[in-house]
Structure 1
């Protein structure tokens, strides 16, 4: 039976990783975003064909909101954010998001705008301090 010697690169990696001391860094509080339930297959809520400015605005909005707690986002009265509850009866989707186990997952559906009317809305729900994005609605199609 032959024993192979580890390669030098492997030895360096093992040595360097074992000498690293982990620092305990306190992660700032704020909401996180998840795309676990994101639905890209609905034409009504498609971002296909959007330019880089749309994506940049969306990422800036998510970054800025991640500095806040869920309660701060929900209770924010800013006209540029306009976060509010979705009342399904008033929408083009009266049956909700249509995700599996929605009645157990979604306590209250919310929407907020990306920027003042220019790039539409983000629709989803909170679970603790995570906002699950279900739809991106650049054309304001949730309400007729």
Structure 2
């Protein structure tokens, strides 16, 4: 015969802390915050090819204007971006072969002056602070700085002169005027021609005035000459 549990009152339901729903990722006996599907999605992202975005690209900072970068430097940049785009995120960031070649590593923001913090909204910068990376184009061609979310590398600064980590042996920080866009060059040429035209107009007016004065003098001379003859 089954004995009733005296601690339970008849007609009352026993309440307890509800169990968390299974994540589907507890086969190893451990509880995880991510489901197996989410883990597989993250792993897949690490196997996707690297892509680049310029949506947060900035060239207003005085140290990263790309000023005085030779035309050939931009070819080196695009060649490197092309080759990196053939790699997975894992290969690019963690494979020793490519890590040695591109010298990929994260920024130590605690050792950096705040003037070198990425020019992003404060809340956003705090969010991506631990996902900031840099890589070199070559030992003499500078570096690229940005942050990586999933397999997308968001380029923030191009650094052909190694200004993020300046070395006094090579001149330290280097400041150059930003290069001009074709439109800006046309604007400057337009203003130059406008000023030149204004100057020529003034010169033309002066010449016209001189011509009128000479014509008046010529008329006076002719009149005097005619008076003498008559």
Q: Normalising to structure 1: TM-score of the pair? A: 0.72
Q: By how many angstroms is 1:72 displaced?
A: 1.3
Question: Which protein, 1 or 2, shows the higher relative CO under an 8 Å CA cutoff with sep ≥ 6?
Answer: 1
1:90-137 deviations in whole A, cap 9, x for unaligned? Answer: 33446621301222344421100011x111000011111100000111
Q: By how many angstroms is 1:76 displaced?
A: 3.2
Give the 4+ runs in structure 1 shifted more than 3 A: 91-95
RMSD: 2.0
Number of aligned residues: 116
Residue 112 of structure 2: aligned partner: 91
Residue 46 of structure 1: aligned partner: 65
Residue 143 of structure 2: aligned partner: 121
Instruction: Report the 3-state secondary structure (helix = DSSP H, G, I; strand = E; otherwise coil) of the residue aligned with 2:157.
Output: strand
Instruction: Report the 3-state secondary structure (helix = DSSP H, G, I; strand = E; otherwise coil) of the residue aligned with 1:71.
Output: helix
Q: Which sits farther off after the overlay, 131-140 or 95-104?
A: 95-104
Larger radius of gyration: 2
Whether 1:111 and 2:111 are equivalent positions in the alignment is no
Residue 25 of structure 2: aligned partner: none
CA distance in 1, matches of 2:108, 2:129: 13
Considering fraction of residues, name the structure with more strand.
1
Flag structure 2 segments of 5+ consecutive residues without an equivalent.
1-47, 167-230
**Contact kept? 1:47, 1:137, Cα under 8 Å:** yes
Considering fraction of residues, name the structure with more helix.
2
Flag structure 1 segments of 5+ consecutive residues without an equivalent.
1-28
In structure 2, relative to structure 1, the CA distance for the partners of 1:107 and 1:88 (3 Å cut) is closer
Q: By how many angstroms is 1:139 displaced?
A: 1.1
Q: By how many angstroms is 1:46 displaced?
A: 1.8
Residue 13 of structure 1: aligned partner: none
